Amino acid sequence: MGGGGVVEAVSSRRELDLAGLGEEGARLWRELPRGAVVWLSGELGAGKTALVQAVTEAAHAEHARSPTFALVHEYASPEGRIAHVDCYRLRRPEEARDLDLGTLARRSRLMFIEWPERAGSAAPAPDRHLRLAHTTRDDHRVLEDVK
Ligand SMILES: Nc1ncnc2c1ncn2[C@@H]1O[C@H](COP(=O)(O)OP(=O)(O)O)[C@@H](O)[C@H]1O
Ligand SMILES: [Mg+2]
């Protein structure tokens, strides 16, 4: 407000504990329309899978586990499927083509993609792109919208 002419971008950067992450998951479940695709970026342990778990809990869907060894997991909710894709183990984007993620997105109530960068153009375009990061506190994470 100092009149210096610098306009800061509106920041959706929030620091969350695990309970806050749970609330964020419930909010995403309420707000995201059918068929929405959410990209989740951030280093290992940043909380991407934990956020998906929060959404599946809010959705009363089968509990999600890390799909690191199986690229795609789907969870049944009363409103439809939640697809959870983890591209961490992809070595080349070409490996993602067989997954047909576009079709999976269209038949899902909601789709989350961890490590979308590794799927290249095989990852459907995101309706939301979120990034999680560690903080100096073990039990806190930063969540921000990637523009
Ligand atoms: N505020 C928090 N938000 C998200 N995860 C947290 C938080 N505090 C602690 N954790 C823990 O950090 C770990 C995050 O792991 P995970 O979600 O598998 O990371 P990623 O999928 O990004 O590799 C979980 O064990 C989770 O319980
Ligand atoms: Mg994960």
**Which amino acid, residue 34?**
R
SS3 of residue 42 by DSSP: coil
The pLDDT-based confidence of 48 (bands split at 50, 70, 90) is very high
The closest of 21, 29, 113 to 67, measured between CA atoms, is 113
Q: Which atom of ligand 1 is nearest to the CA of 44?
A: 23
The closest of 111, 65, 113 to 88, measured between CA atoms, is 113
Which ranges of the chain would DSSP assign to H, the alpha helix? 18-31, 48-58, 94-97, 101-106
CA of 79 to the centre of ligand 2 (A): 24
Ligand 1 mutation pick, 15, 21, 142, max ligand atoms within 8 A of CB? 21
User: Is the pLDDT score of 54 beyond 90?
Assistant: yes
Q: What is the pLDDT of residues 71-119, one digit of tens each?
A: 888 999 999 999 999 999 898 888 888 889 999 999 999 999 999 999 9
Going from the N-terminus, what domains does the chain have, and what CATH number goes with each? Answer: 14-145 (3.40.50.300)
